Amino acid sequence: MIGSRCSAAAIVVVAVIVGPQRGTAQQSMRVTGPVGVTIDGIFDEAVWQMVAPITGLRQQEPDEGAPATEATEIRVFHDSTTLYIGIMAFDREPDRVIGRILQRDRVMQWDGNGLQFAGDDAVAILIDAFHDHRNAIVFATNSNGAEFDAQVGDEGRDVNVNWRGVWSVAAQRHGDGWSAEFAIPLSTLRAAGRGNGAWGFNVYRVIRRRNEHVLWRSWGRDGEGFLRVSRAGDLHGVAGAASGGAGIDIKPYALTRATEQGAGASAPGRSGELDVGLDVKYEVHPGLVIDGTINADFAQVEVDDAQVNLTRFDLFLPEKREFFLENSGIFEFGVRGDGEPPPFLMFFSRRIGVSDAGVVPLLGGVRMSGRLGRQTLGVLHAITAEAHGQPRQAHTVARLKRDVGASGYVGGMVTRVGSTDATNVAGGLDWSLWPTKTLNIQGFAARTSNPSGGDATAYRLGVDYQTDRVGFSGQHLYIGPNTQADLGFITRTDIRRNHGLLRLTGRPSALGLRTVNLMIVGEYITRTDGEPQDWTTGPALGLNWNSGETVTPYLKTGRTRLDEGFQLGGLVPVLPGDYRTLDLGLMASTSTARWISATAHLMRQQVYDGRIVTAILSARVAAGARAFIDAAFTRGDVALPEGSFTTNLVSLRTVYAFSTRLSASARVQYNELDGRVTTSARLEYQYRPGSDLFVVLEDGRATSGVTALPEQRAAVVKFTWLARL
């Protein structure tokens, strides 16, 4: 759908080389003079006709390597400040294109194993602006022009879906399918002026009604995929372009807040405040950014999802605050859990400014992060105020990683948190190496300070081998009994943990199945002195249909030893002792392409000489592209020798998107275990890229029988304005 409207532009074209293998290059066109492009999803400017398209996307699913069933054309050019990308997603049945998402940040989602498209037809762009074969930025949209962006680190090991960049996109549906125009400032990519080399580049499209996934490069199933940055193609002619400015972002905010502490609060009364603050970002070197914040306020951040905790370990909640999000993967050190809280993280940014008693004011902070040659580095320093019985504290993190080989690294980190009363320091070395494209070897060795002395070390060695048909991961993790990382997250100390997972995948051509995964897991945990603690083993069978439905039954058996008792759910005591365990579970989900989709996780555990039955159910109902409703229900039924209880968690969230930049949402959560009802409503308006208006209403109350006692109500209006110099 290329029109003929003229535009004043002088275009310099070098060469276009297109071929089938990795390392092939696509030449970007450079425009000098007025571009004249209106970002509306329609290619009716003359400049688009002069750009040679990228074509030839191939299937990863369902038929590996086969040409896509629908054609895609990608055009790329840039001027002195902006990268322009045009996507023509041809479709011979345009009425069957699915587009139910209009709100920002919903087109893709992180499921713990990868970045997946949600239920719509959509396309994603990956840009490795440093060409370091490790880190990249993803931009995605659908036929409605909904925006999604994310930062990718270490070949997809770290994916930050909460990051928000400054860019714009628009899309249109038409008789040939649908099309989209992206305008991405070079300053957003943090690579302007960086020599004249290539950028890593890839394109990923989903044709949802067929559940067909196609890519320009890295479409193989063995050691490839969209997030394998090192397997992307090359884009020449963009690196070295200037950003057109001084590389300074200034973002002040103004805020007004009214708060009412109700009868259930410790200090009833009403209060109001007017406040201002400032965020500054300066690119001191291409790709190396300094962030500063004064009187930071995060009132616009969504309330955490309520969770039911029927384990003896702490819950882990994600970071959502903007100051900590950009390049957050740089500060990753340790190991994240698979369906569990992280066993060991040296740095967890929610330790800064968040406590069990409430929010701790962040007086100020500065952070430097990014790339410098073959090094990735990050330095953070933040000061929090005295609050909730905690003294004023200074938090410092220093991180350095050095590229090794095609896509590996070795690195180190040091953290320090302290006040006039006490100080905690942690430090260590880590590595991630790729001997082959399917084999990754990772590990770390760390030591922390502890006033009582003793063994305060931690280390890990892990291997991960993945092909389409066979996968294996294994690790040995050691955490000493006195390991203490006050600026991090440690689920459990004094352990030696051995864990292994074997996966065998078949691709039958019957019953509409796409894959059948047989998985066998085994784990053995001891104290550091060798005293047995836990072991578990068992199979799981994952059935995945071409339609997008999944069913996974599993069985795990083992034993657990408690050296100390604890209160389950804060209600029932569990006594020390040795216990047999038997977990029987079923996970299932319907296709997200349907207007109503659902997931379920049912589990029955025999443990602590009793049983725990858990049901986690969720559903989404899409009412066109503008509105949807999310409903979730969790029920825990506990029956142990020392007592029994039943708890319920209910969550209902409604969203209405007036446009891709303006949305309203409301959510109610009731947690019977905590005896709390929380209600929140948000209006979010991005009146221009990077500048926002938020209106937030919150209500939290404890329940007592049929009477709800208000604890706190708050109304916040926050205005931010971004100036790029």
Lowest mean pLDDT: which of 24-28, 220-224, 259-263? 24-28
CA pair distance 668, 650, nearest whole angstrom: 8
Give the integer Cα–Cα distance in Å for 478 and 497: 6
Q: What is the pLDDT of residue 244?
A: 59
The mean per-residue pLDDT over the stretch 508-525 comes to 96
Is residue 187 left, alpha or beta, with left meaning phi > 0 and alpha meaning psi from -120 to 50?
alpha
Angle made by CA atoms 519, 525, 530, in degrees to the nearest 5: 145
pLDDT of residue 23: 46
The pLDDT of residue 33 is 54
Domain boundaries, the chain: 2-236, 307-493, 496-646
pLDDT in tens, 337-380: 877 889 999 999 989 988 777 788 889 999 999 888 899 999 99
pLDDT score recorded for residue 16: 35
The residue written with tokens 């193989």 in the block is 220
Whether the Cβ atoms of residue 472 and residue 500 lie closer than 8 Å to each other: yes
Local confidence band at 534 (pLDDT 50, 70, 90 cut-offs): very high
The CA distances from residue 560 to 291, 462, 581, 612, in Å, are 46, 24, 7, 15
Could you tell me the pLDDT band of residue 539, with boundaries at 50, 70 and 90?
very high
Contact 583, 556 (CB under 8 A): yes
Q: What 8-state DSSP symbol labels residue 387?
A: B
Q: Is the pLDDT of residue 704 over 50?
A: yes
Q: Is the peptide bond before 343 cis (omega within 30 degrees of 0)?
A: no
**What is the DSSP track for 534-596?**
EEEEEEEEEEEETTS-EEEEEEEEEEEEESS-EEETTTEEE-SEEEEEEEEEEEEE--TTSSE
Give the range among 350-354, 399-403, 557-561 with minimum mean pLDDT. 350-354
The pLDDT, as a whole number, for residue 474 is 96
pLDDT value at residue 53: 93
> Please, what is the average pLDDT of the chain?
89
Give the Å distances, CA to CA, from 705 to 502, 635, 647, 676.
49, 19, 15, 12
**For position 264, what pLDDT does the model report?**
55
pLDDT for 300? 72
3-state secondary structure of 285: strand
Under 8 Å between Cβ of 538 and 521: yes
DSSP E strands: which ranges in 569-690? Answer: 572-574, 577-589, 596-607, 610-623, 627-640, 643-657, 662-671, 676-688
Pairing of strands 457-466, 439-448: antiparallel
Q: Which of 314-323, 510-519, 700-709 has the lowest mean pLDDT?
A: 700-709
Lowest mean pLDDT among 23-27, 106-110, 136-140: 23-27
Mean pLDDT of 154-183: 93
Judged against a pLDDT cut of 90, whether residue 21 lies above it is answered with no
- Pick the closest to residue 125 from 135, 117, 137, 113 (CA basis): 137
450 CB contacts (<8 Å, ≥6 apart)? Answer: 456, 482, 483, 484
32 vs 290: which has the higher pLDDT: 290
Of the ranges 47-51, 98-102, 153-157, the best mean pLDDT one: 98-102
Hunting for tokens 């690195």 — which residue is that? 411
CA 55 to chain centre: 29
All residues at 6 or more sequence positions from 620 whose CB lies less than 8 Å from its CB, including other chains: 592, 596, 597, 598, 628, 629, 630, 631
Instruction: Supply the pLDDT for residue 1.
Output: 42
**pLDDT category of residue 634 using cuts at 50, 70 and 90:** very high
Taking the model in full, what pTM does it have?
0.89
| Cβ atoms of 375 and 401 closer than 8 Å | yes
Assess whether pLDDT exceeds 80 at residue 242.
Answer: no
| Among candidate residues 696, 662, 692, 694, the one with its CA nearest the CA of residue 678 | 696
Please tell me what DSSP assigns to residue 711. Answer: E
pLDDT per position as a tens digit, 573-627:
999 999 999 999 999 999 999 999 999 999 999 999 999 999 999 999 998 889 9
Q: Radius of gyration (Cα) for the chain, nearest Å?
A: 26
Position 80 scores a pLDDT of 81
Residue 643 has pLDDT above 90, yes or no: yes
- Give the pLDDT score at 127: 95
Please determine, looking at this structure, whether the domain spanning 2-236 carries the CATH number 2.60.40.1190: yes
Residue type for 278, please?
A: L
Alpha carbons 39 and 415: distance in angstroms, whole number: 44
pLDDT at 436 over 80: yes
Q: Which residues have a Cβ under 8 Å from the Cβ of 641 and sit 6 or more positions away?
A: 608, 609, 610
pLDDT band at 312 (very low <50, low <70, confident <90, very high): confident
* pLDDT, greater one: 274 or 303: 274
**So what's the pLDDT on residue 709?**
56
* Distance in angstroms (rounded) separating the CA atoms of residues 353 and 715: 21
Mean pLDDT of 662-690: 92
pLDDT of residue 538: 97
Lowest mean pLDDT among 72-76, 110-114, 184-188, 390-394: 110-114
Average pLDDT on 386-412 reads 92
Residues 412 and 426 sit within 8 Å (Cβ to Cβ): no
- The dihedrals phi and psi of 354, each to the nearest 5 degrees, come to -135, 130
Residue 113 has pLDDT above 90, yes or no: no
- Residue 448 reports pLDDT greater than 50: yes
Those residues whose C-beta lies under 8 Å from the C-beta of residue 685, and which sit 6 or more positions away, are 661, 662, 692, 693, 694
What is the structure's pLDDT at 475? 97
User: Pairing between strand 72-78 and 29-32?
Assistant: parallel
As a whole number of angstroms, the distance between CA 10 and CA 50 comes to 11
The number of CA neighbours under 13 Å toward the Cβ of 570 is 8
Dihedral sign for Cα atoms in the order 222, 226, 227, 233: positive
pLDDT classification of 297: cutoffs 50, 70, 90: confident
Give residue 29's pLDDT: 64
